[in-house]
Amino acid sequence: MAEFANLTLETAGRHVWRVRPAADQLVALARAVKEEGGQLIALWGSDDRPLGAGYGLHAAFMTSLGMLWATVALAVEDPAHADLAAVFPQAGRMQRATHDLLGIRAEGAEDTRKWLRHGAWPANAFPLRKDYAAATVNEPDAYAFVRVEGDGPHEIPVGPIHAGTIEPGHFRFTIIGDRVLRLEERLGYTHKGTEKRFEGMDLATGARLAGRVSGDSHVAYAWAYCMAVEQAVGAEVPERAVWLRALFLEMERVANHLGDLGYLGNDVALAFGFNQFWKWKEDWLRLTARMFGHRYLFDSVVPGGIAVDLADDGYDLNRMTRRLDDEVAQLKRIYDEHATLQDRFANTGIVKPDMAARLGLTGLAGRASAQAWDARMQFPQPPYDRLAVNMATQRKGDVLARAEVRFAEVFESLRLIRDILKHLPGGAVRAELPAVAAVREGLGWVEGWRGEVVVAVRISADGRLDRVHPHDPSWQNWPLLEVGILGNIVPDFPLINKSFNLSYSGQDL
């Protein structure tokens, strides 16, 4: 047992600690985390009345010890907790969503506007409560955007429907001349009731849904979900399966970075860069499909291991990584020497390190603003504890810095893939899960390509899912997009937005 903020910690997995503070201790715990340089990663609620309790508020903090999972018991009637956004501003939207779904109030919060409820259920109903009765309604609220008063400012509403295939989101710009004075986002348009859908699922089907929370991060979500389930039931995963999960995760990282580097070139009219990166991404995805049966590795990670094995020694994959090393290096030289691209990337969309730390910027965007967090290096799950990951960081926090981090992570992932293939052990790739005879809980934590993906699960005594909360790093990072656009011109927004490339579906759930 260890002590943190005068609270007893329980081991809840590798680099995961569980703490159960009283409601009046939660803010003190959050301040203690902040004072030691930690961050709030996720916040969610649960209806615990079927367990003979009230409601639960859960928070996952990144600390020097690893992931600290705090659970606070709340009352049955009018469940409420002290506002955490005063300590960690990124809690604000998470608290608003928790109220929309469960009716748990954040007392003293400055912003209590609806976040997820776009009139899809009655205003006084809470879908994640166990006694919720589904209803078809159309009661849209008038969303109170913050208005900038005075002479000169002009508002430009963009979305939620866009002139492309991207997901819906509303962006309201306030400009003076051609410069952005303020940006306010309203998301939640892709809320699909994902968390409610998990209820009552068997564990295998839950893995399929978890992997579809945000399709570009399928492996990260599926692995985090399976890790949570396996921790909850005490399952041992075969060593070969663990190494192949890491192989899949790095292959997913390479695919996404190649695509984003192409899109970044496209957004500054460098069609050559777009075409070249997407050619290589397509080759990468076709090789993935040939080797493992799916371009995006869907349903490859399952509870207890993996569903598809590497049929050979990985010769084709090894050869492709070396080819990509050379090709991406050449493309990087072109990007570095292209005057127009460098002019558009440099000093555009800046999020300074102090602001990134204050607002909790995470993942690759955080590392581009000097936030040196990468779970693969600092809190490695097997097999990363034997792979010596090199973290890529920048300090400038602009579009160029985020592109540089992507380039560095492509090269590092290609190296890691070769290392995994070299040390891949033999043996089984899947083990049966132990039977469940009582309520079990677990938390999984994976460094996806975008940042930390966290999945918390509760399994009922009948072996089915009772509560699942998947958390995307976009929750923390969307508000920083509002910071990065300040002082830039509106036409730079697509470029800045793409340099973050955040998930709508992963946040809206």
Specify whether 178 is located in the same domain as 233.
no
The one-digit pLDDT tens for each residue of the chain (509 residues) are 345 657 788 888 889 999 999 999 999 999 999 999 999 999 999 999 999 999 999 999 999 999 999 999 999 999 999 999 999 999 999 999 999 999 999 999 999 999 998 888 888 889 999 999 877 676 777 888 988 888 889 999 998 988 777 889 999 999 999 899 999 999 999 999 999 999 999 999 999 999 999 999 999 999 999 999 999 999 999 999 999 999 999 999 999 999 999 999 999 999 999 999 999 999 999 999 999 999 999 999 999 999 999 988 899 999 999 999 999 999 999 999 999 999 999 999 999 999 999 999 999 999 999 999 999 999 999 999 999 999 999 999 999 999 999 999 999 999 999 999 999 999 999 999 999 999 999 999 999 999 999 999 999 999 999 999 999 999 999 999 999 999 999 999 999 999 999 999 999 99
With beta carbons less than 8 A apart as the criterion, state whether 76 and 49 touch.
yes
364: domain CATH number is 1.10.645.10
The residues, any chain, with a CB within 8 Å of residue 232's CB and separated by 6 or more, are: 440, 441, 442, 457, 458, 459
pTM for this predicted structure: 0.96
User: Does a structural domain hold residue 113?
Assistant: no
Distance CA 464, CA 200 (A): 5
- Cis before 168? omega within 30: no
User: Does a structural domain hold residue 70?
Assistant: yes
To 10 degrees, what angle do helices 315-337 and 271-292 make?
A: 170
Q: Is 282 exposed, middle or buried (0-12, 13-18, 19+ CB in 10 A)?
A: middle
CA angle 83, 86, 89 (to 5 degrees): 105
Strand pairing category for 440-447 and 452-459? antiparallel
Specify whether 451 is located in the same domain as 403.
yes
User: Does a structural domain hold residue 142?
Assistant: no
Number of structural domains the chain divides into: 3
Specify whether 365 is located in the same domain as 443.
yes
Specify whether 407 is located in the same domain as 496.
yes
pLDDT reported for residue 5: 58
Specify whether 170 is located in the same domain as 231.
no
User: Does a structural domain hold residue 275?
Assistant: yes
Specify whether 439 is located in the same domain as 412.
yes
pLDDT reported for residue 1: 35
pLDDT reported for residue 84: 97
User: Tens digits of per-residue pLDDT, 19-69?
Assistant: 999 999 999 999 999 999 999 999 999 999 999 999 999 999 999 999 999
The residues, any chain, with a CB within 8 Å of residue 259's CB and separated by 6 or more, are: 277, 278, 281
The mean predicted confidence, pLDDT, of the chain is 94
Find the helix or strand (DSSP H, E) in which 191 lies: none
Q: Which of 107, 137, 162 is the last residue of a domain?
A: 107
User: Does a structural domain hold residue 120?
Assistant: no
What letter would DSSP give residue 63?
E
Specify whether 165 is located in the same domain as 80.
no
| DSSP helix/strand/coil, 114 | coil
What letter would DSSP give residue 182?
E
User: What is the token pair recorded at 70?
Assistant: 């705090």
User: Does a structural domain hold residue 147?
Assistant: no
pLDDT reported for residue 12: 86
Q: Which domain holds residue 283?
A: 194-300+314-508
User: Does a structural domain hold residue 236?
Assistant: yes
Distance CA 363, CA 446 (A): 11
Beta bridge partners of 382: none
pLDDT reported for residue 2: 44
Q: Hey, what amino acid is at 298?
A: F
Specify whether 458 is located in the same domain as 477.
yes
Distance CA 502, CA 497 (A): 8
Other C-beta atoms closer than 10 Å to the C-beta of 46 total: 25
Specify whether 180 is located in the same domain as 255.
no
Specify whether 68 is located in the same domain as 164.
no
User: What is the token pair recorded at 410?
Assistant: 């492509």
Specify whether 320 is located in the same domain as 352.
yes
User: Tens digits of per-residue pLDDT, 252-268?
Assistant: 999 999 999 999 999 99
Q: Hey, what amino acid is at 94?
A: M
Specify whether 391 is located in the same domain as 501.
yes
User: Does a structural domain hold residue 169?
Assistant: yes
Distance CA 272, CA 275 (A): 5
